[in-house]
């Protein structure tokens, strides 16, 4: 069965530190998609990235980078030089093609607190 | 593009009343819409999937008679919480999706915070 595990419930860092949020997934499907979303206190989900199972290339977008490793079923997210505005809950999600509807399975989220 | 709205953004109601939440895709036609529920400090849990013109598919453990979903058009889905009780207080988020290449891309609404007194 599909599952997403975010083992880190809460992380606190001091501003300008680098921080990595872990995401481990389980799926039997060969075609799937992985996502990261940010949920600030307002509650609205902010899309950060989508990766498909055939593209293991890592990606960098400004201070954000993602490391996708199929061998370990992980899709980790690193924020470089964190800022107070990065404080939020971050969710990793999995979507399988086999579901037909591509419904999302969310991890439990990691609450990131960046202290000034 | 790909904007999804929800109305209302928040609602407070008395126990026993019914509440309707609307989810609209503003600039695209959504083949499928999804409804999620999020309790405080918890993850988003999928409640149901709905396709335009057909009955919703509910996830295990979600009472279909309590959470009525109507997907009458390609741009509108509604969730009605019938006879709401305090334990139904939660943040309800919808998403709307359409086919993009080989994939159904989902776009999320801003959420509706329901408080049942």
Rounded distance between C-alpha atoms, residue A43 and residue A8, angstroms: 20
Taking residue B116's Cβ as centre, other Cβ atoms within 10 Å add up to 20
For residue B102, pLDDT beyond 80? no
Which chain A residues contact residue B103 at CB under 8 A?
33, 52, 97, 102
Contact B43 A44 (CB under 8 A): no
For residue B62, pLDDT beyond 90? yes
pLDDT of residue B15: 97
pLDDT of residue B53: 81
Which chain B residues contact residue A108 at CB under 8 A?
42-43
H-helix or E-strand containing A14?
strand A10-14
Whether the Cβ atoms of residue B4 and residue B24 lie closer than 8 Å to each other: yes
Residues in a beta bridge with A47: A37
Residue A101 has what DSSP assignment? Answer: S
Q: Looking at the partner chain, which of B43, B93, B110 has a beta carbon nearest the beta carbon of A108?
A: B43
pLDDT of residue A56: 86
Contact A45 B108 (CB under 8 A): yes
Tell me the average pLDDT of chain A: 94
Which chain B residues contact residue A33 at CB under 8 A?
103
């Amino acid at each position: 069965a599909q599952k997403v595990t975010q083992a880190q419930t809460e992380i606190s860092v001091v501003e300008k530190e680098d921080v990595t949020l872990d995401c481990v997934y389980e799926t039997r499907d060969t075609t799937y998609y992985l996502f990261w979303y940010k949920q600030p206190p307002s509650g609205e989900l902010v899309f950060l990235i989508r990766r498909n199972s055939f593209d293991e290339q890592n990606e960098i977008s400004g201070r954000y980078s993602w490391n996708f490793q199929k061998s370990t079923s992980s899709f980790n997210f690193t924020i470089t030089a964190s800022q107070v505005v990065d404080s939020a809950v971050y969710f990793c999600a999995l979507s399988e093609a086999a579901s037909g509807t591509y419904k999302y399975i969310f991890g439990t989220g990691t609450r990131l607190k960046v202290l000034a | 593009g790909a904007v999804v709205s929800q109305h209302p953004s928040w609602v407070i109601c008395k126990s026993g009343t019914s509440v309707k939440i609307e989810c609209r895709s503003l600039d695209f036609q959504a083949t499928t819409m999804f409804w999620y529920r999020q309790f405080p400090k918890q993850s988003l849990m999928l409640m149901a999937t709905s396709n335009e013109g057909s009955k919703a598919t509910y996830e295990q453990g979600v009472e279909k008679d309590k959470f009525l979903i109507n997907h009458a058009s390609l741009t509108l889905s509604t969730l009605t919480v019938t006879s709401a009780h305090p334990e139904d207080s939660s943040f309800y988020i919808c998403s709307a999706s359409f086919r993009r290449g080989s994939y159904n891309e989902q776009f999320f609404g801003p959420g509706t915070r329901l408080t049942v007194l």
